[in-house]
Amino acid sequence: MPLNASKALMELLKGYAVKEVFGLPGETTLPLYKEWLSTPEVKHVMMRDERSAAFAADAFARFSYKPGVCEGPSVGATHMIPGVAEAYKASIPMLVFTSDIPLHYERRNTLTGINQTAMFEGITKESITVTEASDLPSIVRRAFRLATSGKPGPVHIRFPIDKQMEEIGDPHLYVQKDFKAYPGHRSVAELTKISEALKVLGLAQRPVIVCGQGVLLSQAWGEVQVLAELYGVPVGTTINGKGAFPENHPLSIGVTGSRGGTTLGNKVIDEADVIFYVGCSTDSTGTDTWKTPSLDTQAKIIHLNVSEGEVGNNYPIEVALIGDAAATLRVMIEVAEKQEKKVRKLPRIKAIQKEKEEYDAYVSGLMASNEIPIHPLRFVKELGDALPKDYLIVTDVGIAAIYTAAFLKQGEAGRRMIFNYAIGSLGYAIPASIGARYARPNSTVITLVGDGSFGFTAGELETVARVGGPNHLILFNNQSYGWIRAEWLLSYGKEYVDFATNFKPVDYLKIAEGFGLEATRMVKPDELGPTLKRNLEKKEPTFTEIIVKPEDKLVPPVPSWIKKAEKQGFSYIK
């Protein structure tokens, strides 16, 4: 039966079990929207900015384990770049649709027309243009395969307006069910390499496992725990990998690296004789710019990653394992369990646990602070006490991410918290929280927002209110770009900190109320607990403002900053 290409796309999305698409209208997309009206199975979630649509799809993919889908008109294609770039660098599977003018008008200065392919080629696994409507079904199948298989990532489909209206005589609307979710297929590392890796791990005296976001994408946290317990190996995660290992486990050393890492966790890595990276890109954030461990480390490195481009990319490696994290670790466990002797480093583990107890005592003291403005660790404690059983936390970069990553312990493994530390642009949390709402509609979403980020996506408060549900926004107000103030202070001196960093006072409560949200402000520490518990029980969105110090007044636990703050006599958290 003949169909126009727009109707064919709707049928394909239904076949791939796509329930939501994040986007906003434009003139070049109206033929597609016309068919969308008769396809209620695929909900259109209207956003207020194309960048926000991409961030929402990114968060949806992280929490749902299905590819996120977003769309935008030709005029808004440029706005989608920040969100698509984050997904690309973070290996998040997405389908990104953009409409366009007819391609033969591209060089005639037609309004909204621009070379979209050139823009998206560098930040997607592939950018595909629909030049014939009959090709659309095979393009969509290809996009789902690419997005969910191997190293996941976004795929861009450019869909000109004239092709949206074109009929397809025999559309072949079948789907490939293997690629409705990710990982689409799981590859396993070579068996001889697995045996080599287990030998190195078994002979180690001070091994450590470091999990990146690949463990979460592969849903391999159970396998990581079994292997760690077999060999008695401490386990840390990168900030993007938080949740890959339960942080109340005796072998946990928490988050490591320069964002969310603590002195304790980084020390274990620096002292290791074997480091096993699992699903980790060994990027600058996870390694403190390749200082933890140093590039000349004497530790033997085992590196497991689904991407051949990442294995051994930054460090000399003893054993390369190229394959899916969960599938490869399962084989490792099978081989290890057949071995007669397991190696357990109990004295070392006990020593690490003692250091953890001492460090936890230091942290507990800070969490009891009654300082005004509110101490960030007091906030972390009160938030942890108020969390409902089924929660999701979405954070902006800055203090919202650093303190929760380092000090809010996630007791069970799995994806509960997300951070955008692949690119790390501002404006992520509010739109991402909308994606989280649709990914896990029965969960309570806590959205931690910096006042710097708020200015980028404040308009999405209308979307939050319209979507509804338990999405509780908490804004940290330090009236500045606080992270830049700290970098100014520690790298150049306090005479620079006010340059291009400060905001005028803003009445955030009026803004939130204007968008229809219930809003409160917290200034005193004793207000935290009751207000958070009360708000997190509500089934509709709330907005809470917390007054905090900027980062130059209390330096967060960033390794390079701690050294400078200690030397220069500034207040810091180690």
What's the CA angle centered on 203, arms 201 and 209, to 5 degrees?
Answer: 25
pLDDT exceeds 60 at position 181: yes
Q: What is the pLDDT of residues 417-444, one digit of tens each?
A: 999 999 999 999 999 999 999 999 999 9
Mean pLDDT of 270-299: 97
pLDDT exceeds 90 at position 195: yes
Q: What is the pLDDT of residues 454-502, one digit of tens each?
A: 999 999 999 999 999 999 999 999 999 999 999 999 999 999 999 999 9
Residue 271's CB is within 10 A of a number of other CB atoms, namely 13
Q: How far apart are CA 236 and CA 74, in angstroms?
A: 43
pLDDT exceeds 80 at position 345: no
152: amino acid identity, one letter: P
- pLDDT number for residue 106: 82
465 lies in the same domain as 442:
yes
119 lies in the same domain as 90:
yes
The CATH number given to whatever domain includes residue 340 is: 3.40.50.1220
- pLDDT number for residue 339: 80
444 lies in the same domain as 340:
no
17 lies in the same domain as 138:
yes
Q: What is the mean pLDDT of the chain?
A: 96
Q: How far is CA 555 from CA 336, 361, 370, 559, 573, in A?
A: 44, 20, 18, 10, 6
Residue 149 tokens, joined: 């298989």
127: amino acid identity, one letter: S
Q: How far is CA 272 from CA 81, 200, 206, 325, in A?
A: 39, 13, 5, 22
215 phi and psi angles, rounded to 5 deg = -65, -40
> Do residues 430 and 47 make contact, with C-beta atoms less than 8 angstroms apart?
no
Secondary structure element (H or E) that encloses residue 211, with its range:
strand 207-211
Q: What is the pLDDT of residues 512-567, one digit of tens each?
A: 999 999 999 999 999 999 999 999 999 999 999 999 999 999 999 999 999 999 99
- pLDDT number for residue 2: 78
Q: How far apart are CA 143 and CA 138, in angstroms?
A: 9
- pLDDT number for residue 343: 58
Question: Has residue 356 been placed in a domain?
Answer: no
pLDDT exceeds 80 at position 342: no
Domain that holds residue 479: 368-568
Q: What is the pLDDT of residues 529-538, one digit of tens each?
A: 999 999 999 9
Choice between 528 and 107, residue whose per-residue pLDDT is larger: 528
Residue among 304, 362, 294 nearest 329 (CA): 304
Q: What is the pLDDT of residues 360-403, one digit of tens each?
A: 999 999 999 999 999 999 999 999 999 999 999 999 999 999 99
- Which residue among 129, 148, 179 closes a domain? 179
Question: Residues of the chain with pLDDT > 70: what percent?
Answer: 99
Q: How confident is the model at residue 107 (pLDDT cuts 50, 70, 90)?
A: confident
* Number of domains forming the structure of the chain: 3
Residue 473's CB is within 10 A of a number of other CB atoms, namely 27
- pLDDT number for residue 338: 85
139 lies in the same domain as 283:
no
- pLDDT number for residue 319: 98
- Which residue among 292, 318, 350 closes a domain? 350
Q: How confident is the model at residue 100 (pLDDT cuts 50, 70, 90)?
A: very high
Report helix, strand or coil for 41.
Answer: coil
Question: Has residue 358 been placed in a domain?
Answer: no
Q: What is the secondary structure of 147-209 as a DSSP string?
A: HHSSS--EEEEEEEHHHHS-EESS------GGGSSSSSS-----HHHHHHHHHHHHH-SSEEE
Q: What is the pLDDT of residues 183-194, one digit of tens each?
A: 999 999 999 999
376 lies in the same domain as 498:
yes
pLDDT exceeds 60 at position 309: yes
Q: What is the pLDDT of residues 215-252, one digit of tens each?
A: 999 999 999 999 999 999 999 999 999 999 999 999 99
3-class SS letters over 372-413: CCCCHHHHHHHHHHHCCCCEEEEECCCHHHHHHHHHCCCCCC
> Do residues 333 and 223 make contact, with C-beta atoms less than 8 angstroms apart?
yes
The CATH number given to whatever domain includes residue 23 is: 3.40.50.970
Q: What is the pLDDT of residues 53-99, one digit of tens each?
A: 999 999 999 999 999 999 999 999 999 999 999 999 999 999 999 99
Mean pLDDT of 332-356: 83
**CA dihedral in degrees (365, 370, 373, 377; nearest 10)?**
30
- pLDDT number for residue 171: 87
Question: Has residue 360 been placed in a domain?
Answer: no
